[in-house]
């Protein structure tokens, strides 16, 4: 778990540096463009963006998990009904 967290933090830092460098390059290519390239502000903005994407991904996965649980419950309910139907039919005979 600790290794996983270390890898995530390293990847996040790499993404931040790539985005900062890209923004600086874009700002240098277009001198008329008024970009705030303050590294602290840029890093904070990128951190917020990454956090939002992680939260969206987590939420999406939880939604899929809940949907699967609901589908499994439906299947179990149908199985129980069929089982009860078989028991009722066998008791009639």
Quote the pTM value: 0.49
d(C-alpha 62, C-alpha 59), whole Å: 5
Sketch the domain layout of the chain as residue ranges: 2-92
Per-residue pLDDT of the chain (93 residues; tens, 9 = 90+): 677 888 888 888 888 888 888 877 776 666 555 555 677 877 888 888 888 999 999 999 999 999 999 999 999 999 999 998 887 777 665
Instruction: Give the pLDDT of residue 44.
Output: 84
Instruction: Give the pLDDT of residue 92.
Output: 61
Contact (CB, 8 A) for 36 and 42: yes
């Amino acid at each position: 778990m600790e290794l996983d967290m270390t890898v995530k933090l390293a990847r996040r830092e790499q993404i931040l540096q790539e985005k900062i460098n890209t923004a600086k390059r874009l700002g240098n290519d277009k001198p008329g463009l008024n970009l705030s390239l303050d590294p602290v502000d840029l890093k904070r903005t990128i951190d917020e963006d990454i956090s939002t994407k992680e939260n969206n991904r987590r939420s999406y996965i939880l939604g899929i998990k809940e949907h699967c649980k609901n589908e499994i419950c439906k299947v179990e309910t149908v199985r129980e009904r069929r089982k009860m139907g078989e028991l009722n039919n066998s008791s009639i005979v």
